[in-house]
Structure 1
Amino acid sequence: MAWFLRLRPFSHINVRQLCSSLSSSSPAVRLRISPSSTCFFDEAVQIKLSGLSPKDAVELRAKHKDDKGVEFKASATYQADEHGEVDLSRHVSTGGSYTGVEPMGLFWSMLPEIPHKKLLKRDASSPVLVHFQALRHGKVLTEETNVRRFIADGTHRVPVKHGRLRGTLFIPPGEGPFPGVIDLYTLGGTVCEPRAALLANRGFVVFALAFYGYQDMPKTVDKLDLEYFEEGVKFLQMQPKVKKSGIGIVSMSKSGDLALSMASFLPDIAATVCINTCSANSVFPLHYKNMIIPGFVGDRKRVRVLKSGILDIRDILNDPMEEEKTRSSVIPIERASCSFLFIVSGDDRNWNSAFFAEQACSRLKAHGKTDYDMVTYPTAGHFMEIPYMPHQPSGFHAAVSQVVVFGGEPKSHADAQVDAWRRIQSFLESHL
């Protein structure tokens, strides 16, 4: 009996302390990513916080480390509603990397810790991991990670080393046959696997084709051969799951004039997407059989130096039709029998893509061609990527070996990427 009496005060104190602790505790703060914390890169998600006190001020942070180890970050401040919740699809960010109601703002507004860097994702077989934290008064309340995939289950990623061809082939699951698409990227000649993989998820066999600077290919070139791209088209057509009808091309920047040349001189091209391209063959001479299209290089005296010290090279290329010596660099797209979609950024500071697209469309119209369309986004910049890829306002440009401005207002650019992606898929589905 004595031992029981000795234990009673101890037991009584612990129960009372426990009850006091339970009654004073608040629900745990939770960060939810819907419909799932795992999704495809081009899919929007809903981010919600719950378990806060009404009117709580909270900061949300996003972070990603890319394939080169460069960290990209964004942040936004919110106030919880009367239910102690923050919903990015309904609530307003009052500061940080963006303001207003922006459900995907923490993605597209990310900036690199090292200035002028572009988010690099070469290999689409691994996802992009975006890590989120919710903080109050600098203290982490909760955290979560969004796994953003590129390749659907059952899609095959096949590295290509066939003769002199280099790149990556993405083949959707199923028997097919599927439409075939050549994916070409920018000056630098390497591949863009994320875009190719996401297109494969939509039912295309996509060949992300490198043309220099990739694996064992030359790091620099002084000319390009159209026969190489012709080999790429034939290789794609030989794939068992590819339709034997026309091939599509998706291109951007320098690769856009290569796409125009492919459409003009190669058979079996049915649909060509050109994002912020030039109507003339730019930079390098292009050889095909006994023909040479000279490279259009413009006038470096047209370069402007901004107050920041960054170059604005938008007007380095003038109208190639102005002078006799540059007219031969203009691609004769009236020879093409395919459909064209020109995606144009009105604030492209890499070059005047709006002028060049209008020139290309005028040339098609003058020759009785009607199967073309041009879509313009007035305040978007040069690098029109897949949806929710962070905007790149500036970066190192190989053609001038210096940092240049690429233009674009981040929010408008982000919206343009979403809309352009939808249009590109619809265009390819319609014409292939």
Structure 2
Amino acid sequence: MSSQVRLRLLPRARCMFDEPLQVKVAGLRSRQVVTLRAKATDEKGVMFSSMATYKADGSGEVDLQRDPSLSGTYTGVQPMGLLWSMRPDTLHKMFTKTCSLNPQVVKFSVHEEEGGMLAEATNERLLVGDGVIRRPVKDGNIRGVLFTPPGEGPFPAVLDLYTFSGGLSEKRASLLASRGFVVLTVALFGHDDMAKNIKEVHLDYFEEAIAFLKKQDKVGSKAVGVISISKSGDLALSIASNLPDVGVTVWINGCSANTVLPLYYNKSQILPALMFDPSRMIPTDSGAFNCKYVMHNPLAEENKATLIPIERAEGRFLFVASEDDLNWDSKAYMENMVERLQRHGKDNFESVCYPGAGHYLEPPYGPYCPSSFHKVAGKPVLWGGEATSHAAAEVHLWRKIQEVLRTHLSCDAPQTKARL
């Protein structure tokens, strides 16, 4: 390495996962061409990496906020491109970061055109902010993790329903807690002492989770927010439509009908499942399948019983759809729901659509995932989207989610609550 070349990560090398980073290089020769690289290993040991070629200015400096990448895993001025353009070393892998206890560690380096390393630096991207309390929950039927911000509060309460692939994901919940929300993320199966698989879903479980969340000392909102993505989107709709105390529901690339598994409440089935036709999966040259149109049409007469009666919901909705979602046609589902609410004279919703974005809209600056294994399909599938547009959508959406939750989950003054 060259003692002259300096690689700086600003404002600091240790930051929150959802915070932008300024990458600067100094001490190069005037107009020198260099390659910047980033690499990280996920929880399953899969290596992800990115690279971009830059030309230093007359002072021998490169600033990713100012200078364009000339070639690599992205091009143009993209200050966070080295993070979101990281690709796995094997096909069809999603960057797995479900546990919040350890930061995402990213190794940045600068290389000469010939390949020799000139400088390196390490970025630790934290999922839990200073003072946030992480508490595993095993209470009644509830299995999950509760995140509580520092300070007396009161804070808005959020129930986080992540993907439907089993187990527990803490990333989004821990980051929201670091932004001032009390967040409970729950598992449905495949976690702790829960069943490895399930054949039906019971709304009573989420009712219990909401009651638990509302009793927490620092919670000040009378109603809770519910945030979801993919299959959990229809669960969130059913929660909002059937249970009290839901102030706002964030639906991200879900369906307008109850999908895959029948839904029960108070020991009775309230919604049958909308199913899919595997023969509609379209193979591609990459080995992954396009599943955009595999679901049966929820508006067909024989499937209308699966539609969720969202007009019953008393709270508000934020509908978020990616135009290039290849998991299913989430934009069409969103349009169906908007039309349904308007037909019932309701205006308790806001809808956002992202051109060029794919299915998995997550907290920003993680590696974009074009394809990975789908547990329900049993095959690798395409998630859709173009990396640059998808990354921009995640930045915008993350701010939007926090804005909507804060606006519609007003908090009372601090009050004493019985500890569980």
* Pairing partner for 1:102 from 78, 81, 86: 78
Paired position in structure 2 for 1:302: 280
Paired position in structure 2 for 1:279: 256
Q: Which has the higher contact order (CA 8 A, sep 6+)?
A: 2
Letter in 1 for 2:275: V
| CA distance, structure 2, for counterparts of residue 118 and residue 422 of structure 1 | 23
* Pairing partner for 1:147 from 112, 118, 124: 124
Q: Deviations over 1:318-344 (max 9, x none)?
A: 4212132x1111101111011000111
| CA distance, structure 1, for counterparts of residue 312 and residue 379 of structure 2 | 36
The unaligned stretches of length 5 or more in structure 1 are: 1-25
| CA distance, structure 2, for counterparts of residue 52 and residue 315 of structure 1 | 52
* Pairing partner for 2:89 from 113, 117, 121: 113
Paired position in structure 2 for 1:200: 177
Deviation at 1:362, TM superposition (A): 1.0
State how 1:381-400 maps to structure 2 within 5 Å. Answer: 381-400=358-377
Q: Is the 8 A contact 2:92 2:288 kept in 1?
A: no
Kindly indicate whether residue 316 of structure 2 is the aligned counterpart of residue 319 of structure 1.
Answer: no
Paired position in structure 2 for 1:86: 62
| CA distance, structure 1, for counterparts of residue 331 and residue 224 of structure 2 | 26
* Pairing partner for 1:418 from 386, 390, 395: 395
Kindly indicate whether residue 170 of structure 2 is the aligned counterpart of residue 183 of structure 1.
Answer: no
* Pairing partner for 2:271 from 277, 280, 293: 293
Deviation at 1:244, TM superposition (A): 5.0
Deviation at 1:47, TM superposition (A): 0.4
Gap change, CA 1:106 and 1:330, over 3 Å in 2 = same
Q: Is the 8 A contact 2:275 2:296 kept in 1?
A: no
381-390 or 181-190, which moves further after superposition?
Answer: 181-190
After TM superposition, the score normalised by the length of structure 2 is: 0.95
329-338 or 189-198, which moves further after superposition?
Answer: 189-198
| CA distance, structure 2, for counterparts of residue 388 and residue 206 of structure 1 | 21
How many aligned residue pairs are there? 406
Q: Secondary structure at the match of 2:155?
A: coil
Q: Is the 8 A contact 2:109 2:117 kept in 1?
A: yes
State how 1:142-291 maps to structure 2 within 5 Å. Answer: 142-243=119-220, 245-289=222-266, 290-291=268-269
| CA distance, structure 2, for counterparts of residue 384 and residue 32 of structure 1 | 29
| CA distance, structure 1, for counterparts of residue 379 and residue 345 of structure 2 | 42
Deviation at 1:191, TM superposition (A): 2.7
Paired position in structure 2 for 1:45: 21
Kindly indicate whether residue 371 of structure 2 is the aligned counterpart of residue 371 of structure 1.
Answer: no
Q: Is the 8 A contact 2:274 2:296 kept in 1?
A: no
| CA distance, structure 2, for counterparts of residue 122 and residue 397 of structure 1 | 17
* Pairing partner for 1:329 from 298, 306, 316: 306
406-415 or 241-250, which moves further after superposition?
Answer: 241-250
Deviation at 1:163, TM superposition (A): 1.8
Deviation at 1:309, TM superposition (A): 3.3
| CA distance, structure 2, for counterparts of residue 418 and residue 189 of structure 1 | 26
Kindly indicate whether residue 319 of structure 2 is the aligned counterpart of residue 347 of structure 1.
Answer: no
| CA distance, structure 1, for counterparts of residue 325 and residue 221 of structure 2 | 36
Task: From the two aligned structures, give the one with the greater helix fraction.
Answer: 1
Deviation at 1:190, TM superposition (A): 3.0
Deviation at 1:204, TM superposition (A): 0.7
Q: Deviations over 1:120-175 (max 9, x none)?
A: 11211211111011111211111000111121111100011112211110000111
Deviation at 1:388, TM superposition (A): 0.6
Q: Is the 8 A contact 1:348 1:381 kept in 2?
A: yes
Deviation at 1:96, TM superposition (A): 1.1
Letter in 2 for 1:181: V
Q: Give the % identical residues.
A: 49
Q: Deviations over 1:175-222 (max 9, x none)?
A: 112111000111213332111111112211000111112222112111
Deviation at 1:358, TM superposition (A): 0.8
Deviation at 1:302, TM superposition (A): 2.2
| CA distance, structure 2, for counterparts of residue 169 and residue 224 of structure 1 | 22
| CA distance, structure 2, for counterparts of residue 175 and residue 300 of structure 1 | 51
Q: Secondary structure at the match of 1:245?
A: strand
| CA distance, structure 1, for counterparts of residue 168 and residue 319 of structure 2 | 21
| CA distance, structure 2, for counterparts of residue 49 and residue 135 of structure 1 | 11
Question: Structure 1 stretches (4+) deviating beyond 3 angstroms?
Answer: none
Q: Deviations over 1:215-261 (max 9, x none)?
A: 22112111111101111111101111112500001100000000000
| CA distance, structure 2, for counterparts of residue 417 and residue 329 of structure 1 | 30
| CA distance, structure 2, for counterparts of residue 177 and residue 133 of structure 1 | 43
